[in-house]
Amino acid sequence: MRYMTRPITLTDDVTSATWLLLNGVEPGKRGAVSVTVTFNGPADAGVAMYSQGDATGPLAQRLRLSIFESTPSLMPFPVFTGTLADFTGRTCYDQGVGRWTGHGDGRDHTVTYEVIWSLPKDADVPDDEPKLGLVWEARTAEATAA
C-alpha cells in the first residue's frame, strides 16, 4: 500500500522536515510512502535530503529502505538503498542523498521521493509503527561555499 504525505515547499537557504509513518510494518511485508518537494527561489540552490535523527536497535538494523527520486520529466531512480539504521546515520546536508538543483527562475521545480520499506520474514514484530524523519535543505551557492 502507498501513502502520500503533505507536500514540502523550499526556497533559498531553507530547511523543511516531515515525519513519514511507515504504516503496516510486519515481518514479510513491504510498503511505500511518498512526499513531494517543491523548490521556488530567487537563486539556484542545491537541495539534499537527510535524516532528522539516528535510529538504532534491532528494527533499525533489519528494516530495509529504498528511496527513489522522480520528476515530471524523469523516471524514478534510486538515491538510497540500505537499512533504516544506515539512512538515519545521515544527519546533515553534507551526508544528504537525492541531491538536485532548484533553479532560481521563479518557477516551481518539483521532485517526488518514494520510500519503499520491507522487513524480512524472520524479523521480530515491531512494538509500534516506525517513523522516518526526513529533512530537505536548500542551499544557495554562497551558503554552500561558506
SS3 content of the chain, % helix, strand, coil (to 5): 10, 50, 35
pLDDT attached to residue 130: 81
Q: Which domains does the chain have, with CATH numbers?
A: 2-145 (2.60.40)
pLDDT attached to residue 128: 75
Q: pLDDT digit string (tens) for 90-130?
A: 999 999 999 999 999 989 999 999 999 999 999 988 887 78
Q: pTM for this one?
A: 0.88
pLDDT attached to residue 134: 93
pLDDT attached to residue 59: 87
pLDDT attached to residue 44: 93
Q: Is 59 exposed, middle or buried (0-12, 13-18, 19+ CB in 10 A)?
A: buried
pLDDT attached to residue 92: 95
CA 20, 56, 52, 102 torsion: positive or negative? negative
Residues in the chain where the model's pLDDT stays below 70? 1-5, 142-146
pLDDT attached to residue 1: 45
